[in-house]
Chains A and B, each alone.
Chain A
Amino acid sequence: AQSVTQLDSQVPVFEEAPVELRCNYSSSVSVYLFWYVQYPNQGLQLLLKYLSGSTLVKGINGFEAEFNKSQTSFHLRKPSVHISDTAEYFCAATSNTGNQFYFGTGTSLTVIP
């Protein structure tokens, strides 16, 4: 079975500073990777996804992620965060032979004014 590990449960960062949220996955087959964001008291919405092709994926709200197969990582980055980016971020994975999504435990990003 696949597993997804988010290495940081909480990340505080000052406004306009860069941020990286880390995600590692375990899989021996082709993998599809996703980042979702959850604002307080809301459901999850997709930020970006990697299916194939270019390893650098750009998403909404200025976020991007890089797929690194050798390190089995899919870290999320933003060069300059805003207060409105304060939220919970989830990394998820699935495969072309699987029938389930596997979510990490989440990273709470707090942007400090």
Chain B
Amino acid sequence: DAGITQSPRHKVTETGTPVTLRCHQTENHRYMYWYRQDPGHGLRLIHYSYGVKDTDKGEVSDGYSVSRSKTEDFLLTLESATSSQTSVYFCAISETHPINEQYFGPGTRLTVT
């Protein structure tokens, strides 16, 4: 299994509070991605990174920001959480793009009350 961990694995927070999710990899892969998974929508890309300090938006980036200061860590921040951001968040990594597979982390279940 690819070395990807996500923390926390579960979080309940209140509307309006900031939340940061962490993805950590031990594979030294260049590309990292954040997705959210919702019933009826499958996986939708939030942000991705193609190197340290190099990030770009995905299709559902509003309300989210990311940072990547080291190869191994990719942080996803919800500046002011809303109930619509209740979801399961997956981090993925890829050695190259686009033809190599993505390896997924175990997911973080976030509930915003």
Contact = CB atoms under 8 A, between A and B. Distances in A.
A100 B56 CA distance: 10
B30 interface: no
Given A99-B48, A100-B58, A101-B98, A106 B104 contact: no
Contacts of B102: 44, 46, 101
Contacts of B40: 9, 105
Contacts of B101: 34, 46, 49
A96 B10 CA distance: 36
A88 to B, nearest CB: 9
Contact of B43 (A90, A96, A98): A90
B59 A100 contact: yes
Contacts of A53: none
A99 B42 contact: no
Contacts of A45: 104
Nearest to A32: B99
Given A103-B44, A105-B41, A43 B99 contact: no
Interface in B77-110: 90, 92, 97-99, 101-102, 104-107
Interface string A80-105: 00000000001000111011110111
Interface of A: 6, 9, 32, 34, 36, 41-46, 49, 51, 90, 94-96, 98-101, 103-106
6 smallest beta-carbon distances between A and B, as pairs: A43-B104, A105-B42, A94-B98, A103-B43, A46-B101, A44-B104
